[in-house]
């Protein structure tokens, strides 16, 4: 039986002086597949990085320059009189807490990176973006869009771009770029669902539902539940997102082509994530969220749709067993990405043997590294205790 031991108990057991308890924790980490490589080990052993994931919100005062922005709210300061500042601050906090509580991730970089947001950027600016280090939010023009900090999933979407950069580093064009966008949408929706304690049935699965003005007939920027249906009106056109590989949109790998349609074709994995979460049921951030997050950690810059689908199926199998593996596999098949997984009838015996062998080698190496780190931590602990007694 696969079981997920709560992370705080695992953390406690890993630091236990009792070698048997440490071994239990170690075995649990290895067998339930939640390591996600050395990054996870580091986060457990060195939680609480130098930045302390402190939040700072800056006010650009409607200038198109961040260098002239003023500090509007810091971690220990009282709430601002400006609701936009507070929305950004609270949104960063909710997203930070989500990653910490759900994935045991310590901020964007897993090392306590500071979270910085710039609000009131430019005049009538109708966008929110991640520049590689910070998040920037516009006020909208008041005709089409309103303040972009109004949607928690938009704030979480931008912050997730940072997480992706520090993990898989998915290249921002074509399929890997659409996966990059998909991860941001999925995590954005999960943060909102987690914040509202919604089940998969209660969630709206919309991205940016709060940022259109009431006069615009549009549900949101995107719908994970029904890609291609978020809006349809003469002013902004029809939502172009596909929900199946048969309708994959080929666009030029240029800025004007949305770098191969990264915001367009993300509809396909978005739909797969929605279907998987619905089939699994309950709270999406639990099983489905963990499967997707672990798949992100196991991905690389060039991972494409099929490879990511395969990884989620493998992670579902490792973390939760047959039922959830089938739910994930069926979800991908529904969007035209049929993938095989270890243990499924379609996977060849040869392929399984190779995969198992590689996994065993990987686990043996991880075990060795963890034992070395445990020895170091034990030695350091002894030294500290010794010095305290002197």
Partner 1 sequence: MLCVSLLIYGGLAGGLQRPPHVVDAAQLSARDQQQLLHLVQALQASPPPPVTSPGQGRDLQGYLITIEQAGKAPEQFEANDLTRNQAFATLSQWILNKGSTGGGAC
- Residues with catalytic annotation? 158, 263
d(Cα 174, Cα 261) in Å, to the nearest integer? 6
d(Cα 155, Cα 117) in Å, to the nearest integer? 9
Q: How far is the CB of 313 from partner 1 (least distance, A)?
A: 27
- Which two tokens mark 379? 């030695």
Q: How far is the CB of 318 from partner 1 (least distance, A)?
A: 29
Stretch of 18-26, 232-240, 280-288, 335-343 lying at the interface with partner 1 (CB under 8 A): 232-240
Indicate the SS3 state at residue 59: strand
Q: Which is nearer to partner 1, 69 or 370 (CB)?
A: 69
Residues between 330 and 389 that touch partner 1 (CB under 8 A): none
Binding partner 1 (rule: CB under 8 A), the pick from 8, 123, 302, 362 is 123
Binding partner 1 (rule: CB under 8 A), the pick from 67, 215, 255, 387 is 255
d(Cα 216, Cα 325) in Å, to the nearest integer? 40
d(Cα 28, Cα 205) in Å, to the nearest integer? 33
Q: Which is nearer to partner 1, 211 or 314 (CB)?
A: 211
Q: How far is the CB of 195 from partner 1 (least distance, A)?
A: 19
Q: Do the beta carbons of residue 59 and residue 72 sit within 8 Å?
A: yes
Strand partners, 56: 74, 116
Q: Among candidates 317, 306, 277, which has minimal Cα distance to 33?
A: 317
d(Cα 390, Cα 272) in Å, to the nearest integer? 60
Q: Which is nearer to partner 1, 195 or 241 (CB)?
A: 241
35 is a contact residue toward partner 1 (CB under 8 A): no
Residues between 202 and 231 that touch partner 1 (CB under 8 A): 208, 221-222, 231
Q: How far is the CB of 33 from partner 1 (least distance, A)?
A: 29
Q: How far is the CB of 222 from partner 1 (least distance, A)?
A: 7
Residues between 159 and 188 that touch partner 1 (CB under 8 A): 161, 165, 172-173, 177, 180-181, 184
Q: Which is nearer to partner 1, 215 or 348 (CB)?
A: 215
Please report, to the nearest 10 degrees, the dihedral formed by the alpha carbons of residues 373, 374, 376, 382 taken in order. 160
Q: Among candidates 65, 27, 309, 82, which has minimal Cα distance to 182?
A: 309
Q: Where are the beta strands (DSSP E) in 120-161?
A: 128-130, 135-137
Pairing of strands 135-137, 115-119: parallel
- Which two tokens mark 281? 């049921």
From residue 264 to residue 293, what is the string marking binding to partner 1 with x (rule CB under 8 A)?
Answer: x-----------------------------
Q: Which is nearer to partner 1, 240 or 281 (CB)?
A: 240
Residues between 49 and 68 that touch partner 1 (CB under 8 A): 64
Q: What share of the chain is helix, strand, coil (3-state, %, to 5)?
A: 50, 10, 40
d(Cα 59, Cα 56) in Å, to the nearest integer? 10
Q: Do the beta carbons of residue 369 and residue 38 sit within 8 Å?
A: yes
Stretch of 11-19, 112-120, 141-149, 364-372 lying at the interface with partner 1 (CB under 8 A): 141-149
Binding site for partner 1 (CB under 8 A): 64, 123-124, 126-133, 136, 144-145, 148, 154, 157-158, 161, 165, 172-173, 177, 180-181, 184, 208, 221-222, 231, 235-237, 239-241, 255-256, 258-259, 262-264
């Amino acid at each position: 039986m696969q079981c997920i031991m709560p992370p705080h108990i695992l953390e406690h057991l890993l630091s236990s002086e009792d070698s048997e308890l440490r071994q239990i924790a170690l075995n649990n980490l290895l067998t339930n597949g939640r390591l996600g490589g050395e990054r996870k080990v580091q986060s457990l052993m060195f939680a609480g990085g130098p930045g302390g994931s402190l939040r700072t919100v800056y006010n650009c005062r409607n200038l198109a320059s961040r260098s002239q922005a003023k500090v509007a709210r810091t971690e220990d300061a009282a709430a601002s009189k400006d609701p936009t500042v507070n929305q950004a601050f609270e949104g960063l906090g909710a997203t930070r807490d989500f990653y910490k509580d759900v994935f045991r991730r310590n901020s964007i970089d897993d090392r306590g990176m500071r979270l910085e947001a710039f609000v009131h950027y430019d005049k009538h600016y109708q966008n929110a973006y991640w520049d590689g280090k910070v998040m920037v939010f516009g006020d909208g023009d008041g005709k089409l869009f309103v303040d972009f900090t109004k949607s928690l999933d938009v704030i979480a979407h931008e912050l997730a771009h940072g997480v992706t950069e520090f993990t898989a580093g998915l290249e921002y064009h074509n399929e890997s770029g659409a996966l990059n966008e998909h991860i941001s949408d999925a995590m954005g929706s999960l943060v909102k669902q987690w914040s509202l304690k919604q089940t998969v049935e209660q969630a709206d699965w919309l991205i940016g539902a709060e940022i259109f003005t009431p006069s615009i007939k549009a549900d949101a920027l995107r719908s994970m539940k029904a890609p291609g249906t978020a809006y349809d009106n003469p002013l902004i056109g029809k939502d172009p997102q596909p929900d199946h590989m048969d309708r994959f949109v080929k666009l030029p790998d240029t800025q004007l082509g949305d770098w191969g349609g990264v915001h367009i074709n993300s509809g396909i994995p978005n739909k797969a994530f929605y279907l998987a979460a619905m089939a699994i049921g309950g709270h999406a951030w639990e099983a489905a969220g963990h499967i997707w997050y672990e798949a992100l950690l196991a991905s690389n810059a060039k991972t494409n749709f099929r490879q990511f689908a395969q990884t989620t199926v493998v992670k579902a199998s490792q973390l939760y067993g047959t039922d959830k593996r089938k739910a994930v596999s069926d979800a991908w098949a529904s969007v035209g990405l049929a993938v095989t997984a270890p243990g499924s009838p379609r996977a060849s015996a040869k392929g399984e043997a190779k995969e198992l062998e590689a996994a065993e080698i990987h686990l043996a190496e991880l075990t060795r590294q963890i034992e070395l780190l445990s020895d170091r931590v034990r030695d350091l602990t002894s030294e500290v205790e010794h010095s305290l007694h002197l």
